[in-house]
Amino acid sequence: IKLGEMDGFLQTVMFTLFANQFEEEEENLLLTMFRTVLREEFKEARSIADALRSNTPLTRMMNTYTRRSPGQQYLKTALTTFLTKLTKTEECLEVNPVKVFDQWVIDLEAGQGKAYSGERKPLPEAAAAMPEIQAIIKPRMDKLLSIASELVDTLVESLQAVPYGIRWICRMTKQLCQERWPDATHAQVCTVVGGFFVLRYVNPAVATPSAYMIVDAKLSNNVRRNLTLIAKIQQNLANGIQFGDKEFYMAPLNKIFEICLPKLNAFLDKLTEVDDLEVHSSLDQYIALTKLTDQTISTTQNEIAFIHSLLVQHKDSVITEPGDEVDNILKNLPVAPQQVPRKDNAAIELKLVSSKIRSAGPDSTLNKMKPE
């Protein structure tokens, strides 16, 4: 399936077919699909360092899943206080010595009323060695370390607010890592779990809180740069990769590993400590089967046509055995209908009937149950 088609498919599945994010039965079906795709993804991964790193259908599924309502609500609950405080300050925390030097020259010339007579385009190493630049950068490094540490503490304190589905994906990721690479270290497994939770879920909200409606104010250039730096520190921490020669000036921030890595990895471990899907969903599925009210899906004509076209296109992969439900549908409807213009794209309500209830006999317990 092409990436463009994948985005449309995920949008339809997660926001139409399984749109009720607070309905346990729908969420369990969606997570069951995740389990299948996760297992296939880990079979194909060459090394633990490559797991969940590239832009694949699975990682796109993960990104789309976190945008559902429970996932977005968690980000607001966990990060609003932290990000509101951070975005209200205009303090510049830039630590790139070249950028700090350029601003220092501007301020110096404005204060003295004359042009700076020294080298105006120093190499990064030369700028970093200047006492004046070091005096500016040192307190900024301390402040960045403090903020980055506060973010880790914020995540640790938010553990109980993380939605079950997010935690279950973390659990499955850890389990599959340990099955696929039994000799992997605890730190390596944590980088894969953190690759999902921190890098694909939390970090985008830290870097662009306005896009997640966590803060309303228009952010200045200084604030946006500060957020980028914090997200960058968090990225390296979650990846377990210290700043090196490429960004030598960031090396003092490697102190964050000593300060926060044990706390972060302990948090990632606790994220995975949830019931497996079958245990978690057993009671909810029983309750769902005994509901006598009709369940429906709200969709559109074009969404149905789109899913139909994908089934036709990939029927050899989708049909598990001749005569299964998908095979029978496609035999009766072998050609998908054409998409219609937006103005003609009618809304459609589809009534759902559970296959478990449908297959229950007339004397079954489920069919004898009456509402109180």
Q: Which residues of 70-97 are buried (b: 16+ CB within 10 A; e: fewer)?
A: bbbebbeebbeebbeebbeeeebbbbbb
Nearest C-alpha neighbor of 286 from the set 354, 362, 371? 354
Cα(322)–Cα(118) distance, integer angstroms:
80
323-332 per-position pLDDT tens digit: 777 778 788 8
Is there a contact between 186 and 58 (Cβ–Cβ < 8 Å)?
Answer: no
> Any idea which residue has 């213009």 for tokens?
341
For residue 53, pLDDT beyond 90: no
Please indicate whether residue 22 or residue 111 has the higher confidence score (pLDDT): 111
Give the 3-state secondary structure of residue 350.
Answer: strand
Token representation of residue 319? 């049909």
pTM of the model: 0.74
Is there a contact between 277 and 35 (Cβ–Cβ < 8 Å)?
Answer: yes
Q: How confident is the model at residue 94 (pLDDT cuts 50, 70, 90)?
A: very high
Token representation of residue 112? 């003295």
Q: How confident is the model at residue 366 (pLDDT cuts 50, 70, 90)?
A: very low
- Tell me what the pLDDT averaged over the chain comes to: 82
Nearest C-alpha neighbor of 236 from the set 162, 148, 174? 148
- Residues of the chain with pLDDT > 90, as a percent, come to 49
Residue 255 burial (CB count, 10 A):
15
108-145 per-position pLDDT tens digit: 999 988 888 888 999 999 999 999 999 999 999 999 99
Q: How confident is the model at residue 357 (pLDDT cuts 50, 70, 90)?
A: very low
Q: List 342's β-bridge partners, or say none.
A: none
Cα(167)–Cα(70) distance, integer angstroms:
12
Cα(154)–Cα(84) distance, integer angstroms:
13
pLDDT of residue 316: 76
Q: How confident is the model at residue 339 (pLDDT cuts 50, 70, 90)?
A: confident
